[in-house]
Structures are given as structure tokens and as C-alpha cells.
Structure 1
Amino acid sequence: MFQYSITNFYLSPPCYVFFVCPVCRRKMKVKRSKSRSPEPSSSNEYKRPRIIDSDQKNDDQLESNLLNLSDDVLLNIMKYLNPQDLMALSLCCQRLEQVTRDRTLWSSVDFRKSPIMLEDLEKYVKFFRPWITKLRIRGNLQSDRYQGLSQSFFTAIGEICNRLKELTVEEYAIDGNKIQITDFPKMIETLSLKGCDLYHLQTNKSYFFKMELHMPNLTCLILSNCEWFTPHSLMVISKMPKLKELRLDSCHRLSECLAYASLATKFGFKTLEVLDLRDTALGDSEISCFKSTKTLTHLYLECPPMLRKVRRPSEGTPPHEPPMHRPVFEDHNLLQLLVDEGNLMPRHNFELCLISDRAVCALGSYVCDQRILNSIEGMIFVEEDRRIVNNPNLKALVVRYYPQVTNQSLVHLAANASSLEYLDVTGTAVTQEGVQTFRSQKPGVEILSSFDET
């Protein structure tokens, strides 16, 4: 039996006092004795405002409390919170701690709202469960408290999150001597190392060595803004059996060697569909290598800001400009070599890195292939023409801020790119008449140019 202690109040008759039952949470009233004082002992300034409407006949009313909500309602509210807020909420009481562990809240985890340090990140490991499919974290390379990721963190992910499909690690430092590519979860399908800093890398092999064996299900690899990425890693990445999307934008060392790009595209990338090469100093020869990639559907190219010489066609011939300063690479060599049609030539002019009509016309082109069958009495029998189509599935092409891309590229694409749906030639040397002609020939293709800018 519950006992209740009620403070004596001297009230005018008839009067009642309300109290809340701790079992049923209902308000109950008790009749009080007559007042022997002309004034109530509780003055008006200490009275609490009445919370029940005068029209309300039912005295049953629950208190306004978060814990009065059902678990389903709490889960519906918590799904809009980020992991940091869920962590703070779990420290309030035992019930909220249990609700915040629900599997529906931790199937897709995104910590990127604010940078999270290693010591803070390890506190969330207790929430990790096998049903997590997406994990996204972001660090801060500029922070004074910054620490790189540890091998124990990747070990915990591999042991606990055995259904993980997507792993995004942004702006963290990774020690190549301590964390190998084989330490990453092997079941993932999407891996992003955007903005990460990898150091202590071995010079005799790629960091992605044996990646095709360790991650056979990988379909998307994002290496945006990775200054450490070198072109010889293309050979290893091209072996990925299911790779469909590769993003190498702002990887400025890609143009150091043409041979790797040529070999990788000739013998690998059998399933590649999306290729992002924006803000890289690649030239015609490197881009032309990807013409043999039959499955390619989206290609993104954009000239680096340091190499742009943007001019509108109406401005006429641009005045003579001083030569651009060539970048100095880690080996302090300014001279680059370009293998062009079998000839070895030095790149004294860095403008050779720019893309022109030559690269665009290599995409989506037709090549006639004939084979001699027999030769009898001076008569030569040849096989019927076989028309080989480069990039027959190309749907989206972005070629931005390249002054050597002209109307010739538009004419070629209109005649040969039968699957094209989207084209962006902003900042190039195409004319307004050329864009209008292309639109009339390919009305189903959305084209963007400098003439569309407001």
C-alpha cells in the first residue's frame, strides 16, 4: 500500500486538494476541512498555473514527459538525429539507452556532420552491430587534436559489421606501414578515401596491391583529392572484376606516366561505367586510351584551374600569354615524357596536357575492320566490313574549360554518339551556332555551354 503525505492547507469550504497517484499517474481529489484562517496559507504569487482546461470533464491527464511516449514514437523521433546526438541521448537513462540501440537507427551511420577524432570514434563502437550496411566518417587534417585511424578500429569493423556494404573515410591520415588495404572490410561494395592522406607508402608496389582478391565485390571506388595517388595504381585497380564507378578527380599526379593508363585500359576496366577525371592534367593521349572501354557510360573531364585559358568565341584570337609554370613533382623533375603515336617526345609545353578535339573525337567513333580471307590468282577476298564502335554506351560527357575543344567535337558527337543524352562543353571554344546546330541534329540530348549562362 502506498502512503501519501499531504501538506495541510487551510482553504475555504468546500474545497478539494489534488494529488498525483504514482501508480496510475492520475489526478485524484480529496475533500479538505474548513479553513480557520481568513487568507489561504498559499498566496497567489506562489500558486502554480492550472494545466487542466476548464471545459475538460475528464480529470485523467498524463504529464508532459519524453518517457511517456511509446518506443515506436521515440524511434520515429530518433531517426532524424545524427549519431552524436544519439550518443548523448543514450546517457540520460536506461530506457533511452536501450531505445537508442535499436537496429533501425544504426543500419546507415553517418558521422560526417562534424569531424570526429579517433578517441571519440572509438566510443561509438559499442553501438556497432552486424546489421550496419553503411558507415561514413570524416576527420580533420588541420586540427591540433588530429589523430590518424588505428588498425584496431578497422579490426572492430571487420569483426562486428559483417554486412557492411559502404565505407566512407574522409580527411583522415592513414599510415601505410600499419594499415594495409587488406585491413579494410572485405565485403564492402563502395569504398571512399576522399581527401585522405596516406603516408609511409611503399615505393615498390601499389597500396592497392591484391585489392581485386581482397574486395571482389567492390563496385565503386572514390579517391577524390588524393594527392598521393600515382598512375601505376591504375594497373591494380583495373583488375577489379566488378568495378563500375571510379572517381579520381583532383588526383594531380595521374599525368606522370601514360604507359600505365594505356595498359590499364587495354587489359582491364571490363565493367567500368562511370569515370571522373576532373581537375587532372590529363591530355589527349591518356583520354584516348579509354576509347576501348566498351562499358563506359559517364565521363567527366574538366581542366584544372591553374591551366585554364577560358575565352568566348566572340572575343576572337586571344593575345599572346606568357608561358605557364609547370608543376614541380616530388622528384623535382620538370620534364615530362609523352608517348604519342610511337614517338617519344618531351613535354616542354605543358599545354600538351590539355584536352582537344582529338580526345573527344576518339570517343564514340566508328572504326572499320577488314580481314583478308584468301588470295587466288590475283584476286583478294576480304571479310565484310565490321564496324567497331568505341564507347557505344556513352550517355553523359562533360568537357569543361578546354579552349582547344571546338565545333569539330560537336560535329563528331552528333554523327557518332548515338547513345548520348547529356553534354557539357562550358568554357570551350565551341560557337553559339555550333551549339544550335547540334541541338537541331540531336534534339534528345541536353547540352550545356557558356552561352546558356546568365
Structure 2
Amino acid sequence: MFGNKIQSVWIEQSEIPNYYQHPICHICKRRMMVKRSKSLSPEPSSSSESKRPKIVEDGQTNGRMAHPNMLDLSDDVLLNIMKYLNPQDLMSLSSCCQRLDQVTQDRTLWANVDFRSRSMLLHELEKYVKFLQPLTTSLAIRGNQDPEKFTGLSQSFFNAIKVVCNQLKELIIEDYCIDGNKIQITDFPTMIEKLSLKGSMMCHLQSNKSYFFKIDVHMPNLTCLILSNCQWFTPHSLLVISKIPKLKELRLDSCHRLGECVAYASLATRFGFKTLEILDLRDTALGDSEICCFSSTKTLTHLYLECPPILRNAESAEQQQQQQQQQQERLQRQAAQRPVFEDRNLVQFLVEDEFLWENFERCLISDRAICALGSYVCDRRVQNSIEDVVVIEEDRRIFNNPHLRTLVVRHYPRVTNHSLVHLALNASSLEYLDVTGTAVTKDGVQMFKSQKTNVKVVSSFDET
């Protein structure tokens, strides 16, 4: 009586109430199943177009297999799936059909774009420019350092980024080659706040001018600059970078050309780096004089220092054993001859300066640089002068690096317990300290921990 308006459904035996468990009801059930089997057709009926077919648990329907189709999912579900895919997979998915091509170009999928899952050549990179959106805020790419396959970035790529991504805040370019004659720092997007050139190569650089010339004017909003493993970076660029008005994070780790540069470091820290908070100088050849210059940076909160492996292993094993033996002998003699005194319940271990300078050809970081961090500067001015009497105002102590929270000093043999004593007394904001591979002793570390209970200390004496 209901005709074709009856909608076919599966009725399991367990779902039928007890009062329907009757022979007549079983006959009706068989008739409904026959009608349902006759109504199956390749084309969907008009009454069932708006509803999705129900998939049977056993996966079979009268001898036919029911396979779910990805296109049966809604756009919202597809977007939730696609947000876990990398841009390369999204581009491959867009080539399947027109609907997937439309979904993959949704602006929410291209807000933060990271192509670093695999290296990309220039001709591949240009294919992805069409997917970038005006709301793209982060773009990361990685090249190939193989000389046979290495391809530099082009001017057209930077022009496309500046035109399409007008709200770009973060640009990460790793392991690419940049031609200094074709691409200047002024060709980069001007609105970015984070720039990374990690592992990039530079060719045809001008010898009389830094590559970062006028970066402070071109990128006034830049807060983070990462130049890790940039072998082309030279010390004179420090002075140019220090002029960036909002720079908070500077990473120069593994820049092996960054060595003795007291003049540039002194000028840069005296007149620039007014907002610098994070400074990474690991795996560089900087010494005491350069690090002491950064002690005047009042805003510094994180400082990372680590001796390069090539300098760390420069001495032979025999020389190292001799130095360790000499150090133990000197410590024993001084313990017997000099009194060990306490300052605020922290034992001070005295180390002779002349021993620290033996057998070292290159000036590495020592206690002198560490003790400059957190120290104070006396500022006493002449108020009046009457004949032979000079009136000087009271001593005003200005502490350096008052906000220093993280300090990493690794594998420097000249850093001793004297640095621990100084940091315990003067680094009031310190929260994390790493002195792995230095000449500090286990007793010195324990005494530091007892004095600074709120500081997490990492050393060579930690139990593994």
C-alpha cells in the first residue's frame, strides 16, 4: 500500500521486540527483503539522493561489496584530514579531481606552509606559488646542498612572495644558494618578523659592504634572525645587525668565520642590540673579549656558548692527562697552603690564573668572560671641587645582564668553580645553567646547587 515510498533498511533479529517474534512477522520480513533487493539499481533514486548509504558491518550487501569513497565525506571532514598533510601531498591530491582541487586550495590549509619535508629545486618551488594565499603568514623551504643539483633562488620567486603573501611574518630559507649580485637583502619581504637563512650559501658577495646593509630600515619589524651554519657570515656584519630596532633573538651558531672581532663586538653592544634577549654563539671561535662586550646588554635573558670540536680536540690525549694531573696537584697544594673561606655559605675554590693560561695557543672563553656576566659597574661622578677637596657622589652599582635566565657554557676547560661562585652571588634571575665539559668540580656544583636551589644545573657529574 505504501508503494515505492517504503525505505529499505536492514532489520537484525536481535533488534525485533519479543511481541514481533511471530511466524506472520517473519513472512513480512522476507517480503520486505525481496522488495529491497528488487529496488537496487546503479542509479540512485530521487528519494535517497540526499542521504548517504548505510554501510553494513560485514561489508556485503546481497553479494556486492560496499566500499567507502573519500568523496562521500563533507568538505569540513576533508579539511580536517588535509591539515595533517604536507604541501607536497596536498598538491598531488589536487590533481585527482576538480572537487579535491577546490578543497586543497582552502586558505586555512595554507596559512603556515612548511615545504621542508624534502628538498625542492627551483622549478619545483615555482609550482607551489599558486597555492599561497594572501593570508599566508609563515613560509619555510629547504634546498639541496648537492653541487650537481643545487639551484639558487630567483628574483621572480621573491617578487611572487611579496605580491601574493602580503601578510607574511615568517620566512625560513634553508640550504639554498643566494647570488649576492642578483638578490639583495632589500629584495626580501619587508613585513617579516622572523628570517632564517640556516645553512644557506652566498656567492658574489661584496667585500666592501655587508650583505645586511640597511636591513634595519628595510625590515623594521624583524625580531628573530637565524644564521646558523652560515659559513659566509663575517664579523663586520655584527655592527649592521645590531641596528635592527626590535631584534630579540640572534642565532650565529656554527658560523666558523666568527672569531676575534673585539672592535666590531664592542661597537655593536655599545650602540646597538638594545632589545636583544636570546644570543646563540655555540661552535664559534669567540673568546673572552667578545663575550665581555655582551655583558653590557641589559636585556639579555638567554646566552648559549660551546667550544667548537676542532678547538676542543686540538690537544693530544697525553697533554690533556698532563694538565689534569697538574691541576690536581695544584689544587691539593692550595688546599694545604691557602684557607678555604665561605661567602654566603658558598665555598670558594681558588684556582691560580697562571695555570689556566698554560698550553693554550688560542684564547678561549674562561672565567673572565663568565664573571663579566651579572657583574656590576661603579658609576661615581664628581659633584663638586673646592680647592684641593673633590666631592664624589655615592657609589652607584649598575648590574649587567640583570635578567639572565639561561646560561650554557660547554666544553671550555678554563671555566672553573670561580665562575660558579660568581654566578651564585650575582646572577639573581638565573634559572638554568649548563657547565658540561668544563673544569668545574663535583663539589663546586653541589655547593652551587645548595646556594641556588631554584636553578637547574646540568654538568658532567649528572647521573645517567
What TM-score range do you get, normalising by the shorter chain? 0.7 to 0.9
Aligned mates of 1:352, 1:138 — CA distance in 2? 36
Aligned mates of 2:58, 2:385 — CA distance in 1? 109
Match of 1:231 in 2: 235
Matched, 1:142 2:163: no
Superposed displacement of residue 379, structure 1: 3.4
Aligned mates of 1:210, 1:450 — CA distance in 2? 44
Residues 166-194 of structure 1: CA deviation (Å, up to 9, x unaligned):
00000000000000000100000000000
Aligned-residue identity in percent: 69
Match of 2:129 in 1: 125
Number of matched residues?
Answer: 390
Q: 1:374 to 1:127 in 2, by over 3 A?
A: same
Where 2:461 maps in the other structure, the secondary structure is helix
Residues 84-119 of structure 1: CA deviation (Å, up to 9, x unaligned):
000000000000000000011000000011111111
Which has the larger share of helix?
2
Superposed displacement of residue 314, structure 1: 7.6
Matched, 1:417 2:427: yes
Structure 2 counterpart of 1:183, from 176, 182, 187: 187
Q: 1:56 to 1:256 in 2, by over 3 A?
A: closer
What does 1:33-432 align with in structure 2 at a 5 Å threshold? 52=56, 64-142=68-146, 144-308=148-312, 317=327, 351-376=361-386, 378-432=388-442
Q: 1:420 to 1:145 in 2, by over 3 A?
A: same
Where 1:179 maps in the other structure, the secondary structure is coil
Q: 1:380 to 1:125 in 2, by over 3 A?
A: same
Where 1:73 maps in the other structure, the secondary structure is helix
Aligned mates of 1:26, 1:317 — CA distance in 2? 92
Q: Match of 2:97, as an amino acid?
A: C
Aligned mates of 1:440, 1:163 — CA distance in 2? 50
TM-score (norm 2): 0.79
Aligned mates of 1:404, 1:22 — CA distance in 2? 83
Superposed displacement of residue 411, structure 1: 0.2
Match of 1:331 in 2: none
Q: Match of 1:432, as an amino acid?
A: K
Q: Match of 1:228, as an amino acid?
A: W
Segments of 4+ in structure 1 off by > 6 A?
25-28, 54-57, 310-315
Where 1:77 maps in the other structure, the secondary structure is helix
Aligned mates of 1:408, 1:194 — CA distance in 2? 36
Where 2:245 maps in the other structure, the secondary structure is coil
Superposed displacement of residue 146, structure 1: 2.3
Superposed displacement of residue 144, structure 1: 2.9
CA contact (8 A) 2:408 2:433 kept: yes
Superposed displacement of residue 156, structure 1: 0.3
Q: 1:182 to 1:430 in 2, by over 3 A?
A: same
Superposed displacement of residue 366, structure 1: 1.4
Moved more, 298-307 or 249-258: 249-258
Q: 1:300 to 1:54 in 2, by over 3 A?
A: closer
Aligned mates of 1:210, 1:115 — CA distance in 2? 31
CA contact (8 A) 1:311 1:428 kept: no
Match of 1:20 in 2: 41
CA contact (8 A) 2:233 2:257 kept: yes
Moved more, 303-312 or 285-294: 303-312
Q: 1:200 to 1:116 in 2, by over 3 A?
A: same
CA contact (8 A) 1:109 1:135 kept: yes
Match of 1:43 in 2: none
CA contact (8 A) 1:372 1:380 kept: yes
Superposed displacement of residue 368, structure 1: 1.9
Q: 1:162 to 1:54 in 2, by over 3 A?
A: closer
Aligned mates of 1:254, 1:88 — CA distance in 2? 43
Q: Match of 2:81, as an amino acid?
A: I
CA contact (8 A) 1:234 1:264 kept: yes
Match of 2:454 in 1: 444
Q: 1:14 to 1:134 in 2, by over 3 A?
A: closer
Q: 1:389 to 1:313 in 2, by over 3 A?
A: farther
Where 1:450 maps in the other structure, the secondary structure is coil
Aligned mates of 1:124, 1:55 — CA distance in 2? 40
Matched, 1:433 2:443: yes
CA contact (8 A) 1:313 1:429 kept: no
Where 1:20 maps in the other structure, the secondary structure is coil
Where 1:144 maps in the other structure, the secondary structure is coil
Q: Match of 2:193, as an amino acid?
A: E
Where 2:150 maps in the other structure, the secondary structure is coil
Aligned mates of 2:89, 2:196 — CA distance in 1? 24
Could you tell me which runs of 5 or more consecutive residues in structure 2 were left unpaired when the two chains were aligned: 1-33, 50-54, 314-319, 330-358
Q: RMSD value over aligned CA atoms?
A: 2.9
Where 2:163 maps in the other structure, the secondary structure is helix
Aligned mates of 2:115, 2:322 — CA distance in 1? 43
Superposed displacement of residue 312, structure 1: 12
Where 2:259 maps in the other structure, the secondary structure is helix
Aligned mates of 1:350, 1:423 — CA distance in 2? 25
Where 1:352 maps in the other structure, the secondary structure is coil
Superposed displacement of residue 311, structure 1: 8.0
Residues 137-184 of structure 1: CA deviation (Å, up to 9, x unaligned):
001111633211111001100111000000000000000000000010
CA contact (8 A) 2:430 2:455 kept: yes
Match of 1:5 in 2: none
TM-score (norm 1): 0.81
Aligned mates of 2:417, 2:193 — CA distance in 1? 40
Aligned mates of 2:250, 2:122 — CA distance in 1? 28
CA contact (8 A) 1:303 1:400 kept: yes
